[in-house]
Chain A
């Protein structure tokens, strides 16, 4: 009986052995990984250290809007969420997925008792808001803390790891990247040499107007899409608070996106600013490229679902085909 298979291909023996060993090693390694995941102890690194999480958490409490959003995107319904900043207890777009979910209080000051009573096995918090109570939260359940409240990528990544849904998280991120690429492609095709455009994001308030710069949430998403920063805007800052209409010229750009709350005082202020001759004189106003957008999606949501809705509005305003 021959000891070696009688192939007629001139494959060197050494190579076969090496390949086989590698295959065996890889299989055992992935079995080990799968085994680890099954037994459950993952170590998730986050803004306030490393947290050991076992198994797949079933009872998650999310303590900021971006986390609420991302949890729903990952297919997980939290057992406790914090109140939204506008539109009632939940944002409209999350109303259905979060129907019936108990609230644990304000994002800035959640009720620790309420959280403890829910007996969660994972808490998603943010250093920006909850640094002080992190030790207490950790005593209730393993707690993972994000450095900011609106970094959609990091939130998705960390929550994916913590919730044992990394695959789904990766899918969501890839889909997002594809949409960004599609937008960039179509925008440059449609707008030709007017692309890339510089963009200003404006928020009207009751007694002033806010200009969100490239360090802000909306600004960073626009940056990823290929929009540029108007030269007059300072770099790497978050916001400019404009208290006088004489600052209107700084708003000028190739396109302006604005949003605001619906209170009468805010509307009055908006009217006052847009009636001003300096506003009428802006190039962007003359060329009618001033677009209203949704306040929640552009500044309050901070999660992957909200970001996608923001992108929907951009596709709509530029009349690009979302089909691809």
Chain B
């Protein structure tokens, strides 16, 4: 199959997952009900209200967050030329979580809109720190140093977060579920402020496909062929922080999507970033939707936090990849 039909198949899977997310849950609904709820909503019908009020925002957030994280992961892996890079490992998650916990426990901020910007701020600071620390040499970001700096900054912010939570029991209770990663309980007006950031970032990332391909052949070659390597790397960094930061601010700590999805898509679509990045967006969205649906059923009526679900699904895949990909050490 050439690439275009594969993408269409991906789109079909995404749509199916989206519909499943709308139809399945503690009250399972028929496709007809879901269609009605979407296009002819009746304000007095409970099932319509469930679809519009909780399942639709949930599905939309899952799509956005999944796509953002997967694309951020692909960009990160290109930037560092490290197949085990992901936004979480680079400290962006931890920075956002710390900022939000700081705001809720010490500054008593509770409005979700404010928390969104605070989370994004935290993510940016962490990302900037890691990038700076990882690029001390003349060559720009050194892959190994970047990874280790990221891991260290993550540990830093995680420790600070723990410090805050340990001294404030009420604070701990109120952020526990959010920390674990969750796409439920949000309304559409929480998603709106992020769209002007997420959608353009995704588009720009997709348009950079060709340039990234060039970058992958090596800094010197790319420079020799006229590319502004430093500027491209900086752009990739900014895009990653934006995408991952918004994702964390919306959904908390959702791991593994940025790590696993690019590998899966590479196996499916090849290394051409012009296809890889849109493919990642599709696959990431689908994965998160599926994880969210499964998370609803395992311990009903309670739900497993979706961030945990992605880790549980992602670990076996990750292990397999680590062994296969790093064969030459």
Direct contact of A and B (CB under 8 A): yes
- Which residues of the other chain, B, contact A246 by a CB distance below 8 angstroms? 25-27, 50, 54, 296
B185 within 8 A of A: yes
Among the listed stretches B154-162, B171-179, B202-210, B272-280, which one makes contact with chain A, having 4 or more residues with CB under 8 Å of it? Answer: B171-179
Whether, in the assembled complex, B226 has its beta carbon less than 8 Å from a beta carbon of chain A, the answer is no
**What is the bound-complex CA distance between A244 and B110, given in angstroms?**
19
B53 interface residue per 8 A CB criterion: yes
Q: Are A205 and B174 in contact, CB atoms less than 8 angstroms apart?
A: yes
Q: Shortest Cβ distance from B295 into chain A, in angstroms?
A: 10
Q: Is the CB of B46 within 8 A of A281?
A: yes
Interface size on B, residues (CB 8 A): 27
A: number of interface residues (CB 8 Å): 25
CA distance A278 to B55 in the complex (A): 14
Q: Mark B293-315, 1 if CB is under 8 A from A, else 0.
A: 00010001111010000000000
* Residue pair B185, A244 in contact (C-beta under 8 Å): yes
Interface residues of B in 44-85 (CB under 8 A from A): 46, 49-50, 53-54
Find chain B residues with CB under 8 A from A247 CB.
Answer: 26, 300-302
B162 to nearest A CB, angstroms?
15
Residues of A within 8 A of B170 (CB): 261, 263
What is the distance, in angstroms, from B18's C-beta to the closest C-beta of chain A? 17
Given contacts A246-B25, A246-B26, A278-B50, whether A206 and B184 have CB atoms under 8 Å apart is no
Q: For B40, list chain A residues within 8 Å (CB).
A: none
Q: Are B46 and A207 in contact (CB under 8 A)?
A: no
Complex Cα–Cα for A202 and B248 (A): 30
Q: How far is the CB of A232 from chain B (nearest CB, A)?
A: 8
Q: A268-B110, A276-B53, A277-B46 are in contact. Are A244 and B303 (CB under 8 A)?
A: yes
Residue of A nearest to B175 (CB): A207
Q: Report which residue of A242, A244, A263, A264 has the largest number of chain B beta carbons within 10 angstroms of its beta carbon.
A: A244
Task: Tell me the complex Cα distance, A207–B25, Å.
Answer: 20
Report chain A residues within 8 Å CB of B182: 243
Interface string of A197-209 (1 = CB under 8 A from B): 0000000011110
Q: How far is the CB of B123 from chain A (nearest CB, A)?
A: 20
| A318 in contact (CB, < 8 A) | no
Bound-state CA distance A208–B174 (Å) is 8
Nearest-CB residue, chain B, relative to A275: B53
B34 to chain A minimum Cβ distance, whole angstroms, is 14
Interface pair A243/B302, CB less than 8 Å apart: yes
| A250 touching B301 in the complex, CB below 8 Å, given contacts A206-B110, A264-B110, A276-B53 | yes
Q: Is the CB of B138 closer than 8 A to any CB of chain A?
A: no
Residues in A neighbouring B303, C-beta threshold 8 A: 243-244
- Chain B's nearest CB lies how many Å from the CB of A18? 64
Q: Which residues of B contact A205 (CB under 8 A)?
A: 173-174
Residue B169 at the A interface, CB < 8 A?
Answer: yes
A57 to B22, CA, bound (A): 64
* CB-CB contacts below 8 Å: A241-276 with B: 241-247, 249-250, 261, 263-266, 268, 276
CB neighbours (8 Å) of A278 from chain B are 46, 50
Q: Whole-angstrom distance from the CB of B245 to the nearest CB of chain A?
A: 20
Q: A265–B174 contact, CB under 8 A?
A: yes
Query: Within 8 Å CB of A35, what residues of B?
Result: none
Within 8 A of B (CB), among A14-59: none
> Is the pair B25, A208 in contact by a Cβ cutoff of 8 Å?
no
Q: Tell me if A136 counts as interface (CB < 8 A to partner B).
A: no
B109 to chain A, nearest CB (A): 9
Cross-chain contact B302 with A242 (CB below 8 angstroms): yes
A252 CB to nearest chain B CB (Å): 12
Decide if A181 is an interface residue (CB 8 Å cutoff). no
A240 within 8 A of partner (CB): yes
A207 touches B174 (CB 8 A): yes
Q: What chain A residues lie within 8 Å of B174 (beta carbons)? A: 205-207, 265-266
Cβ contacts under 8 Å, B175 to chain A: 207
B280 to chain A, nearest CB (A): 28
- A277 to B48 CA separation, bound complex (whole angstroms): 10
Which A residues contact B (CB, under 8 angstroms)? 85, 205-208, 240-247, 249-250, 261, 263-266, 268, 276-278, 281
The 7 closest A-B pairs by CB, nearest first: A206-B174, A265-B110, A247-B301, A246-B26, A277-B49, A244-B184, A277-B46
Please name 13 further chain A to chain B contacts, defined as beta carbons within 8 Å, in addition to the given A207-B176, A240-B302, A246-B50, sorted by A numbering.
Answer: A205-B173, A207-B174, A208-B177, A242-B301, A244-B54, A244-B303, A249-B26, A266-B174, A268-B110, A276-B53, A277-B46, A277-B50, A278-B50
Q: List 12 A-B contacts (CB under 8 A).
A: A206-B110, A240-B301, A243-B184, A244-B184, A245-B54, A246-B25, A246-B27, A246-B50, A249-B27, A266-B174, A277-B46, A277-B50
